[in-house]
């Protein structure tokens, strides 16, 4: 459980707040709009109306007491940059800021952000991958072309074991889990035999998943 300060409660900030709350975190939210705060009151420990580009407002929050500060402002880059910088100056342990463009991310990282997130771009990438291939049910981008994919097994795999197929050597991907209905098996053994109607959670390079899809 972490103590989290969230600034800017637009659509992304609101959804992130609710999900962080469900995971048991203690959250303070700040926004200039009282209306945006009202719906989130059941999910947070405290809420405050204020303009966080004002250093005195941030000072009153006790920035150094939070494990994490998240700047969710996306439509006003100048405000996001100012708040990010002020948070670091006031002793924030970790600052995560939202960005819409790569050039914004560079400035944020140079001015106090420990991490920059691109929620719109990341969601668009995941949707594009899943819509482009019916065989891919979910997707998480990692780095350097590698990702985690949720895929259906090829028909030629059904009934055969991971060992029989020499799966990792032949397909250059690692199986980290198998989903069947509501059950998930983590790191199946080499003797595991593939079944119909199950999904595999694999980690591999994009070119490898493309080759598997072309085999269908």
For CA atoms 99, 103, 104, 108, the dihedral sign is positive
Give the pLDDT band (50/70/90) at residue 27: very high
Q: Hey, is 160 helix, strand or coil?
A: coil
Answer whether 149's CB lies under 8 Å from 166's CB: no
Q: For the whole model, what pTM was predicted?
A: 0.72
Give the pLDDT band (50/70/90) at residue 167: very high
Answer whether 138's CB lies under 8 Å from 177's CB: no
Mean pLDDT of 25-35: 95
Give the domains, in start order, of the chain with CATH numbers: 3-117 (3.40.50.720), 122-214 (3.30.70.1450)
Residue with tokens 């469900």: 22
User: Quick count: other Cβ atoms within 10 Å of Cβ 107?
Assistant: 18
Angle between helices 77-89 and 102-110 (to 10 degrees): 20
Mean pLDDT of 42-60: 96
Q: Is the pLDDT of residue 120 over 90?
A: no
| Residue 11, Cβ density class (10 Å: 0-12 exposed, 13-18 middle, ≥19 buried) | exposed
Nearest to 30 by CA among 4, 61, 7, 11: 7
Cβ-Cβ contacts under 8 Å for 113 (sequence gap 6 or more): 71, 84, 88, 95, 96, 97
Which pLDDT does position 216 carry in this prediction? 63
Task: Output 201 or 124, whichever has higher pLDDT.
Answer: 201
């Amino acid at each position: 459980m972490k103590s989290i300060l969230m600034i800017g409660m637009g659509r992304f900030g609101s959804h992130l707040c609710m999900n962080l709350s469900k995971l048991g975190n203690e959250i303070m939210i700040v926004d200039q709009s009282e209306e945006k705060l009202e719906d989130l009151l059941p999910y947070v420990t405290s809420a405050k109306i204020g303009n966080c580009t004002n250093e005195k407002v941030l000072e009153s929050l006790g920035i150094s007491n939070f494990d994490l500060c998240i700047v969710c402002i996306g439509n006003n880059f100048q405000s996001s940059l100012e708040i990010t910088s002020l948070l670091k100056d006031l002793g924030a342990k970790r600052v995560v800021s939202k960005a819409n463009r790569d050039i914004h991310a560079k400035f944020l990282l140079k001015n106090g952000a420990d991490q920059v997130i691109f929620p719109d771009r990341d969601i668009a990438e995941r949707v594009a991958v899943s819509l482009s291939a019916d065989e891919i049910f979910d997707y998480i981008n990692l780095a350097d072309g590698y990702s985690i994919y949720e895929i259906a097994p090829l028909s030629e795999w059904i009934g055969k074991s991971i060992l029989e197929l020499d799966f990792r050597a032949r397909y250059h991907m690692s199986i980290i889990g198998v989903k069947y209905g509501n059950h998930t098996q983590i790191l199946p053994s080499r003797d595991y035999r593939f079944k119909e109607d199950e999904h595999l959670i694999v980690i591999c390079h994009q070119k490898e998943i493309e080759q598997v899809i072309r085999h269908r």
